[in-house]
Structure 1
Amino acid sequence: MDIKFGFADTSRELVIRVAGEQDAYLKQVNDALANNTQLEIEDEKGKKFIVRTDRVVYVELGSSSQHQVGFAGV
């Protein structure tokens, strides 16, 4: 699943690919935004991210779909 953060005053986004349930991350993000605290997230490869929530404009949580590559014989 991908978590995409949009920040104020910049057109760049931060996309973190995580393993786990969407509802658990949704609660974690909502709590951090409501309390204006830092958000700590670990990605699929074990890298840790600390996101300051005071500049977050939007967060998009969703399943990343696997793109098929190549040709399929019918």
Structure 2
Amino acid sequence: MEIEIGIQNVARAVTFTTDATEQEVSETINAALAAHEPIVLRDNNGRTFIVPTDSLAYVIIGSQTKHVVGFGNL
């Protein structure tokens, strides 16, 4: 699952891939927002991302797309 997090007053978004499901990521973010606590997510490489909820601009949760390799019939 690919995650993109926009942070206020930061030019570039934070993008990473995680094995968590869309529902797990959404629940983690919603729980942190409701409790006014930092959002804590882990990527596939074992890195931890901590984003203060006050600084959150947006979150895009998307599935990984499989890239087609080779030539298709036109």
Match in the other structure for 2:70: 70
Distance 1:57 1:47 in 2: 21
RMSD, matched Cα: 1.8
1:10 CA drift (Å): 2.5
Task: Please give the residue correspondences for 1:29-68 in structure 2 after superposition, counting only pairs within 5 Å.
Answer: 29-68=29-68
Deviation track 1:9-49 (CA, whole Å, cap 9, x = no partner) reads: 22310112100211111011111122221122111121122
Secondary structure of the residue aligned to 1:6 is strand
Identity of aligned residues (%): 31
Task: Please give the residue correspondences for 1:11-26 in structure 2 after superposition, counting only pairs within 5 Å.
Answer: 11-26=11-26
1:73 CA drift (Å): 6.8
Match in the other structure for 1:9: 9
1:70 CA drift (Å): 3.2
* Structure 1 stretches of at least 4 aligned residues deviating more than 4 Å after TM superposition: none
TM (norm. structure 1) is: 0.81
5+ residue gaps in structure 2? none
